[in-house]
Structure 1
Amino acid sequence: MIRTIAIAATLAILPLAALVPTPAGAQFAELVRQRAEGWEIGPFYKGRSRSPGMPARAVQAGDTAYFDFPWPDARAGHVHYVTRPTGPLTGAREIVLRYRIDGERGVRFHPQEHPDRKATLSLYFQRRGDNWKARGRYATYRWYAPEGMMGPVTPGTHEVRVPLDANWVAVLGATSHTAPGAFADALDNAARVGFVFGSRGGRGHGVYATAPARFTILDFRVE
């Protein structure tokens, strides 16, 4: 039975967890909590953000949210993970992100770990209880979109759609096709969902800009 249906088309809509039937009062409280939390920029580990030079959260502006890339080089910082809380993703079909990048003419985006490579954006979700060590069972707690389904980090408006039956990749290289049980468990116990910045060789290892640039989340949903 499908326990969750969708994150609707704007940031103001209920997350998957809130669409599980609950008393009206509890559902309203969950909506208020999610709106207050918004999009977290991290990840946070042992109380410290792993996105240096970035605020803890994106700025919410009506039905959109935005943040500015650190610039002009890696010493100014880099953005890694942009996520928000979710409930189980069991039964969902795909994750969709539509976004816009605005920047000064000639702005470029570089992965801080591999600045000679192309910067990428990857849709992402994370299982509840991850200890960030990526050892043992925790090696399949973080999941990233397949390589061919990553989004561009270039000026303009872009949309990325990744089906949840595609071959998602775990943090140490296992895939949803080679470890289907672990992937299903991660969907059943999902805690955060969103997107990460990096490159082919390091999905969430951070990106910076060479000039002022802004990232705006226009639409995010799980269907």
Structure 2
Amino acid sequence: MRCLKPIFAATLSILAASPAAADAPPASAWEIGPFIDGRNYSVGMPVRPTETRDGASFVVPGPSARDGHVHYVTMPVRSLAGARRITLRYRIDAPQGTRFVQQENPAAGPATLSLYFQRRGDSWRARHPDYRWYSPAGRDVPLSPGIHEVSIPLDPGAKWVAMMGGDSSSNPRGFAAALSEAHRVGFTFGGNSGRGHGVYATRPSRFTVLDFEIE
């Protein structure tokens, strides 16, 4: 069962005038990006996932340079002030032996997924070093076929990682400000060379969001 708490359902009511909108994020609510200065950094990807009976779904690009790579999958949110936890449940369908690779540096280590949120007004430049926050160290999930769930509390002690280094325990004020003025939320693909720097698959693969919940 896919469900969302009221903090997020309110946002979805703005995004889509569909009776199902309050039950789960529809594919139309998600954006595959990021878009920076008019350019989509998820090269070769559609702007929106496809709606399926199981949830929002998209194909992970293949190893050819022309196939592209996927970076950020996010949706708008009004604020995360008072929210306690983000949980994502997802499924990856892929043939046996499929590997997921960091686009920026294939030799850097396993490709991973991170939960993510972003403060309003982020310029995507170094002058906003604590406007983007990713899963704590060791809580980014290596990508592999199957059904997976990642659930992380939204408190400073969880040690969410800031874009330019540091974490929520060493920068609690920046973390709290980002939660209060949150603008987008979702998940990213990358690895230790950059949490949102992109991933591709060595064989045809599909990613499906089964549940996304903010408590």
When the two structures are superposed, what TM-score results if normalisation uses the length of structure 1? Answer: 0.85
* Counterpart residue type for residue 121 of structure 1: L
Percent of aligned pairs sharing the same letter: 55
CA–CA distance in 2 between the matches of 1:82 and 1:72? Answer: 20
Q: Determine which of 69, 74, 86 is the counterpart of 1:83.
A: 74
Q: Mind listing any 5+ residue stretches in structure 1 that lack a counterpart?
A: 1-7, 21-26
CA–CA distance in 2 between the matches of 1:63 and 1:101? Answer: 12
Q: Determine which of 187, 200, 216 is the counterpart of 2:208.
A: 216
- Does 2:93 align with 1:108? no
Aligned residues: 206
> Would you say the 8 A contact 1:64–1:216 is kept in 2?
yes
Q: Mind listing any 5+ residue stretches in structure 2 that lack a counterpart?
A: none
Equivalences for 1:29-178 in 2 at 5 Å? 29=14, 31-32=16-17, 35=26, 37-62=28-53, 64-116=55-107, 117-135=109-127, 138-165=128-155, 166-178=158-170
> Would you say the 8 A contact 1:126–1:142 is kept in 2?
yes
Structure 2 residue matching 1:193: 3-state secondary structure: strand
The equivalent residue for 1:194 is 186
CA–CA distance in 1 between the matches of 2:6 and 2:60? Answer: 26
Cα distance, 1:9 vs structure 2: 3.3
| Cα distance, 1:156–1:164 mapped onto 2, change above 3 Å | same
When the two structures are superposed, what TM-score results if normalisation uses the length of structure 2? Answer: 0.88
* Counterpart residue type for residue 126 of structure 1: Q
CA–CA distance in 1 between the matches of 2:88 and 2:160? Answer: 16
CA–CA distance in 2 between the matches of 1:57 and 1:132? Answer: 21
- Does 2:2 align with 1:9? yes
| Cα distance, 1:15–1:107 mapped onto 2, change above 3 Å | farther
CA shift digits 1:148-197 (9 cap, x unpaired): 11122100100001111210111100211111111101000001000000
CA–CA distance in 2 between the matches of 1:203 and 1:89? Answer: 21
CA–CA distance in 1 between the matches of 2:164 and 2:53? Answer: 37
Structure 2 residue matching 1:72: 3-state secondary structure: coil
Equivalences for 1:14-33 in 2 at 5 Å? 16=7, 18-19=9-10, 28-29=13-14, 31-32=16-17
CA–CA distance in 2 between the matches of 1:64 and 1:211? Answer: 22
* Counterpart residue type for residue 113 of structure 1: E
